[in-house]
Homo-oligomer: A and B are copies of this chain.
Amino acid sequence: MLEEIASASARPLDPGSPLTRDTECSGDGPGRAAVDFPVAVILPAGGSGERMGLPTPKQFCTILNRPLISYTIQAFERLSWIGTVVVVVAKENHDLMLNIVREFHHTKVKVVHGGTSRHRSVFNGLQAFSNSTDDSLTPKPKVVIIHDAVRPFVEEDLLLKITLAAKEEGASGAIRPLVSTVIATTLEGYLDHSLERAKYRASEMPQGFLYDIIFQAYQLCSEYDFDFGTECLHLALQYCGTNAKLIEGPPTLWKVTYKRDLAAAEAIIKENLSTSACVITEAAAEAVELAGTLQKNLATQGMVLVGVSSPELFLRLDMHLFESSREMKEKVKLNTTKRSFDTQKTDEITTFMRLASEVKQANVQLYGIQIDHTKVSELWERSAARLADITVALIRDRNPALIGQLLQA
């Protein structure tokens, strides 16, 4: 039982893969076979985030205690066919970025300093690779993927298409249909004409390039391009005659731009993390019945019950997991005990709160739910339904302020 819970729960709750349900997260996905050449990534992350109206640049804003950029890095790092991820940051954020790399155990990241524009930053990133045999430099890849630090939900499927098209055609880019009509304005601020929507697309990220093509484009382009150009694909066309292959991406590609986008990103991450619950019960004999009822109720919410254990098992289990795996971060646990008011003393609550605060150190969120094991089936069903509601709510919200609370179902 112990092993079953450990293995079943460690994967779907891994915070490093916000799209667990939709994508292949191991390095053994379809990409490994298809990509037999070196691929690197450049993540420009020098933006100041003015549009957010927040003091922190958006790529460093945290969602569930993890900076946005760490989710994005992880989306690339988890793929075995992707090598170095060059993160380009403003000089003042260099130490912050190194701390993130350390804290979230990123292993493929190389941090370099950005320039005064997005293009200068990307070019700095490209220069982190080398044609020479100098061992201190990373050898240049065949294909380089350019992405945004603030688009955390990029899937292997699309990365693969972008990479293979870039290898084949020299350049490739993700596109999306336009959400709004695009209009041209007169100098005086009046409508000049509107564009026919069907002929145009929004250019998104990721984009892929043969390293030699994009490097050459930057070597040839003008200072004006460096300062005011917005589109790498345009440089490849203008300076290397390469027409990029365009590939339609999913809506999840969107860029975290405004403050509200952080809430949207958090909701997506939570929804993908919140797919399983582990129940620990005091009364082993009743656990099976309770688990059955809870399982049925959770299923209607798209969640899975991964295991039931006694409190002693829970403690041993957790100690085991805490020590063996960093995957356990932000795991949510439910403590379901039989409600027993007579014995509910200060001691019990205090003990539970202390336990919760201890396991919190290991990023396990422990909440308690007490349930009356009544023989009146109507009351029991109501309590079981409430148990499921509270369980779902706690797992979805992952609210640190409620850790260690003993709730009543």
Contacts of A265 in B (CB 8 A): 260
CB pair B255 A260 closer than 8 Å = no
Contact with B along A369-409 (1 / 0, CB 8 A): 00000000000000000100110110001010110111110
Q: How far is the CB of A406 from chain B (nearest CB, A)?
A: 7
Q: Counting CB contacts under 8 A, is A88 at the interface?
A: no
Known: A201-B185, A203-B182, A233-B191. Is A251-B258 also a contact (CB below 8 A)?
A: yes
Contact of A184 among B200, B245, B263 (CB under 8 A): B200
Contacts of A171 in B (CB 8 A): 191
Known: A173-B191, A185-B246, A189-B246. Is A401-B393 also a contact (CB below 8 A)?
A: yes
Most buried by B among A203, A252, A390: A203
Kindly report which residue of chain B lies nearest to residue A245, judged by CB atoms. B190
Copies in the complex: 2
Contact of A191 among B193, B195, B246, B353 (CB under 8 A): B246
How many A residues touch the partner, as a band?
Answer: 35 or more
CB pair A389 B408 closer than 8 Å = no
* Majority DSSP secondary structure for residues of A touching B: mixed
B-contacting 9-mer, from A73-81, A212-220, A313-321, A343-351: A343-351
Q: Counting CB contacts under 8 A, is A230 at the interface?
A: yes
Q: Counting CB contacts under 8 A, is A19 at the interface?
A: no
Q: Counting CB contacts under 8 A, is A154 at the interface?
A: no
- Distance in angstroms between the alpha carbons of A245 and B183 in the assembled complex: 12
- Distance in angstroms between the alpha carbons of A181 and B402 in the assembled complex: 43
- Distance in angstroms between the alpha carbons of A336 and B402 in the assembled complex: 16
Contacts of A404 in B (CB 8 A): 408
Q: Counting CB contacts under 8 A, is A37 at the interface?
A: no
Q: Counting CB contacts under 8 A, is A5 at the interface?
A: no
Q: Counting CB contacts under 8 A, is A157 at the interface?
A: no
Q: Counting CB contacts under 8 A, is A264 at the interface?
A: yes
Q: Counting CB contacts under 8 A, is A261 at the interface?
A: yes
CB pair A399 B393 closer than 8 Å = yes
Q: Counting CB contacts under 8 A, is A133 at the interface?
A: no
CB pair A189 B267 closer than 8 Å = no
CB pair A231 B405 closer than 8 Å = no
- Distance in angstroms between the alpha carbons of A183 and B231 in the assembled complex: 10
Contacts of A203 in B (CB 8 A): 180-183, 194
Known: A243-B191, A390-B402, A402-B393. Is A200-B183 also a contact (CB below 8 A)?
A: yes
CB pair B255 A194 closer than 8 Å = no
Contacts of A349 in B (CB 8 A): 341, 408
Q: Counting CB contacts under 8 A, is A1 at the interface?
A: no
Could you tell me which A residues sit within 8 Å of B by CB distance? Answer: 51, 169, 171, 173, 175-176, 178-186, 189-195, 197, 199-204, 230-231, 233-234, 237, 243-247, 251-252, 254-255, 257-258, 260-261, 263-268, 341, 344-346, 349, 353, 386, 389-390, 392-393, 397, 399, 401-402, 404-408
7 inter-chain pairs at a CB distance below 8 angstroms, sorted by A residue, are A171-B191, A190-B245, A192-B243, A251-B260, A261-B264, A263-B263, A389-B401
10 smallest beta-carbon distances between A and B, as pairs: A263-B267, A393-B401, A260-B264, A180-B202, A190-B243, A389-B401, A264-B264, A191-B244, A181-B203, A341-B346
Given A190-B243, A251-B260, 18 more A-B residue pairs with CB atoms under 8 Å apart are: A173-B191, A182-B195, A183-B201, A183-B231, A184-B200, A185-B200, A185-B246, A190-B245, A191-B234, A191-B237, A263-B263, A263-B264, A353-B408, A389-B401, A390-B401, A393-B399, A397-B397, A402-B402
